[in-house]
Amino acid sequence: MQKRLWSISEYPFQPERHLYYETIFALGNGYLGSRANFEEGLEGQTPATLVHGVYNHAPGMLVPELVNFPNWTGLTLTVDGTPFHLRTKALDLLKPTGGVLLGYKRTLHMDVALLRREALFRAESGGTVKVIFERFVSLADVHVMAQRLKVIAIDGAPRVEILAWIDAEVTNNGVSHWTNLQTTAEADQITVSGKTGQSPYRMGIASRLISPQAVNAASHATQPRLTSVIQLDKDGTVTIDKLTAIYTSRDSDDPLGSAQAKIQEATAIGYDKLYQAHTAAWADHWRDSDVIIEGDEQAQIALRFTMYHVLIAAPQHDDDVSIGAKTLSGFGYKGHVFWDTELFILPPLTLTQPEIARNLLMYRYKRLPGARHKAQANGYEGAMYPWESTDTGEETTPQWSDPQPDGTRIRIWTGDNEQHISTDIAYAIMQYWHWTGDTEFMIRYGAEIVLDTAVFWGSRVELKGDRYELTMQIGPDEYHENINNSVFVNRMTVWHLEQALQLIDWLQQHAPDQARTLTEQLGLTPARLDHWRDVIARMYLPFDAEQQRHIQFDGFFEMEYIPVPHYEPRVGGVWPMLGHHRALQSQVIKQADVVMLMALLGDQVGSREVMLNNWHTYYPRTDHGSSLSPAIHAWVAARLGLMDDAEYMFEHAAMIDLQDNKGNVRDGIHGAASGGLWQAVVFGFCGLTIDHGDLKTDPKLPDHWKSVTFTVYYQGQRRQITVRHPVGNPVGATGS
């Protein structure tokens, strides 16, 4: 294995980019995610540990958010009394007042999910040490986090004091969520416990310091500490471990007791064996989720990086949580769950880690009551999923934006009118079923979602004259709000109702009891099914017959045309350059919309001519103001054989987080863009589809790619697939 293609490094120290690195070097294990803040702290850093499912609605805030947990990473040292730090400026490197950093490298090893930092530090005494910090959050035992600090005497024989702590005084960018905080410090162990203010969650954290010398504990109201003093010999080395365990009331009745028991168990196992188990678990993950691209190292690293971030957020053991738009790596979007999960993040999991995909779909199943409540509150039937979802399943989209520079707030309509989320969830369920063949899931859970969301659409459509319409919608392109007859929404609704009707037939044949139960429970009367058939037959799909292309929504082409490519090169979207008002009234599109429809439904959307016309119409109008857009464009362009566009869009998608080309990586990883990249490669460039009960590829690879190898599960069978150009190998030819 070429290690180089499995790691990303920061070298030398780039203090001005520390928030970017905090995000991209984040660790996680599907239970929690933890940003890559420095163990010793740094001015302006935003340490955050977010645990799936733990939300709280703080007083004065518009909506609930994922709660930042106490910072468990605190670990540092003094060298001959000089505190270790990352300042590189010293008048005299030989006699540095206050100490000086002489060298630095930090690396995220994605193969084993390990963050490692090496630093060369000279103390005021002149004593110089090499300091190596390592940390991982265990994939094998998700409640365990481990840190190792190794200090090597390079010059002199310094006296080293180690200090470890947990910091309970944490906020989400200034918002406090914890109450009843309590700390203890005894022998070699410190603990913190607390409860969220509004929601019912409790947490417990316990840390131990394992040192060859005595460990002392010091109590503190919010920062319990452990210390240990080591006198290094000349050329001597010392290794100190800090182990931490974390539980919440979501997984234990006594989170603190469980954390204490777990830390005892972890201490008995020890860092090395914990690490072995962790790396073995990662080897399993990568065995199925790695994609090998021969001929393009940048694409290779990007694919691993994005899949790494999908995997560290993917709940392995919990079917009551889902992945927020910014994963667990930052405060952006407050940990809320959008369509990003079902249409962008889920497909790579459905195909490579189906058990995890099932967990994510179960999260939606368990939130059917919230979706039914939303439908009812809006005067509809069935289940209408919230645009932004948290633990409760209720709509949690804020109605107003944060104040703009002029102090005003903008009304946010997505929670009211971005209704396609219900169909996106149905799409993910059908995709999961077709790929996995998990009929047990489908019969017991999936069908109810697909059918009750179909009931919603049946009640939502509007009969106008002799056709059905959908007014006051927001399609994927959020620059145009409250529009009428989005072709994406209308066409996907037709698709949804078609699937629902077929599903009822299938249930009647294969699970007649459940068919009866659901028919009764959801009111799937013959009249309702006839209504669905009528909607399918008479739904209005805006189409420009002269130009043979779809119309994104009613009146789209009557607005001002602004060729987006003229605004290149640019940093940021065209939308802010035009201003809110003009942008809303122009043809500038935020993200793949008609193009998204082409990705999801492929040639069901229209003839090749129509698809090409759609592409040539919408691509030059698209701003890619959302990170969800480029990967979908790459996918569709590859399918259309437009390889220059496909490669350009792929490169853009691959670099969204790695090069911070949206300028907001500090807020968290773009989860959807990450899942989208895998889809651009597998569905786009490789053209993987299910065809008459088997898998088919149709490679359209960039010229410089020699081959792509990936693994998928189809109907429970593991298939390793290699495609090359010009014509791929038959699927599965390279083994199982």
Which positions are annotated as active-site residues? Answer: 478
CB 232 within 8 A of CB 244: no
User: Interaction with ligand BGC in 306-345: which residues (CB under 6 A)?
Assistant: 325, 333, 338-340
Looking only at the bridges linking them, the beta strands covering 462-464 and 467-469 are antiparallel
User: Which 653-672 positions form the footprint of ligand BGC (CB under 6 A)?
Assistant: 672
Q: How far is CA 202 from CA 174, 181, 253, in A?
A: 20, 10, 9
Helix (H, G, I), strand (E, B) or coil at 371: helix
Quote the least distance from Cβ 385 to ligand BGC, whole Å.
13
Q: Smallest gap, in angstroms, from Cβ of residue 323 to ligand BGC?
A: 11
Q: Rounded CA gap, 175 and 163, in Å? A: 28
Nearer Cβ to ligand BGC, position 140 or 655?
655
Residues binding ligand BGC: number (CB under 6 A): 12
Tell me if 575 contacts ligand BGC by CB under 6 A. no
Site map for ligand BGC, 694-733, x if CB under 6 A?
----------------------------------------
Q: How far is the CB of 418 from ligand BGC (least distance, A)?
A: 8
* DSSP E strand stretches across 465-580: 467-469, 543-544, 549-550
Report, in Å, the least distance between residue 450 CB and ligand BGC.
21
Q: How far apart are the first and last CA of the chain?
A: 20
Taking the least distance from each CB to ligand BGC, the nearer of 677 and 688 is 677
Query: In terms of CB distance, is 158 or 476 closer to ligand BGC?
Result: 476
Dihedral over alpha carbons 67, 68, 70, 73 (to 10 degrees)? 150
**In degrees, to the nearest 5, what angle opens at C-alpha 300 toward C-alphas 295 and 303?**
145
Contacts with 72 (C-beta within 8 Å, 6 or more apart), sequence order: 34, 49, 145, 166, 205, 207, 244, 246
Instruction: Decide whether 339 or 615 has the Cβ nearer to ligand BGC.
Output: 339
DSSP three-state, residue 430:
helix
Q: Which residues contact 377 (CB under 8 A, 6 or more apart)?
A: none
Ordered DSSP codes for 10-22: E-S--GGGHHHHH
Smallest gap, in angstroms, from Cβ of residue 139 to ligand BGC? 26
Contact 508, 500 (CB under 8 A): no
- Residue 385 in tokens: 């999923």
Give just the sign of the alpha carbon dihedral 143, 29, 390, 21.
Answer: positive
Q: How far is the CB of 401 from ligand BGC (least distance, A)?
A: 12
DSSP 288-311: HH-EEEET-HHHHHHHHHHHHHHH
Residue 72-91 contact track with ligand BGC, rule CB under 6 A, x = bound: --------------------
For 577-585, the CB contacts below 8 A with 24+ separation are 580/410, 583/479, 584/479, 584/480, 584/481, 585/559, 585/560
Distances (CA, A) of 218 to 81, 166, 222, 272: 19, 12, 11, 27
Length of the chain: 736
Q: How far apart are CA 636 and CA 391, in angstroms?
A: 34
In angstroms, what is the minimal distance from the CB of 128 to ligand BGC?
46
Cα–Cα distance measured from residue 65 to residue 334, given in angstroms and rounded to the nearest whole number: 5
For the bound state, the minimum distance from the C-beta of residue 26 to ligand BGC, rounded and expressed in Å, comes to 17
Q: Which is nearer to ligand BGC, 37 or 664 (CB)?
A: 664
Query: Nearest distance from residue 475's CB to ligand BGC, in Å?
Result: 10
Nearer to ligand BGC, 165 or 338 (CB): 338
Least separation in angstroms between CB 657 and ligand BGC: 13
Quote the least distance from Cβ 620 to ligand BGC, whole Å: 19
Count of C-beta atoms within a 10 Å radius of residue 518? 20
- Location of structure tokens 């368990």: 366
Closer CB to ligand BGC, 413 or 506, in the complex: 413
Q: Radius of gyration (Cα) for the chain, nearest Å?
A: 27
Per-residue binding string, ligand BGC, 583-602, x by CB under 6 A, is -------xx-----------
d(CA 468, CA 466): 7
CB atoms under 10 Å from CB of 466, counted, come to 7
Site residues (CB under 6 A) for ligand BGC, limited to 32-61 = none
Question: How far is it, in rounded angstroms, from Cα 54 to Cα 67?
Answer: 6
Residues 601-630 that bind ligand BGC (CB under 6 A): 626, 628
Alpha-carbon distance of 168 to 180, in angstroms, equals: 11
- Within positions 118 to 177, which residues make up the interface with ligand BGC, using CB under 6 A? none
- Least distance to ligand BGC from the beta carbon of 693, Å? 33
Handedness of CA 713, 718, 724, 728 (dihedral sign): negative
User: Judged by CB under 6 A, which of 478, 481, 645, 647 binds ligand BGC?
Assistant: 478
State in angstroms the smallest separation of the CB of 643 from ligand BGC: 26
Residue 690 to residue 436: CA distance in whole angstroms:
11
Q: Using alpha carbons, list the distances in angstroms from residue 623 to 477, 540, 564, 667, 724.
A: 10, 27, 6, 21, 32
Encode 449-462: b = buried (16+ Cβ within 10 Å), e = exposed.
Answer: bbbbbbbbbbbbbe
Binding footprint of ligand BGC on the chain (CB under 6 A): 325, 333, 338-340, 476, 478, 590-591, 626, 628, 672
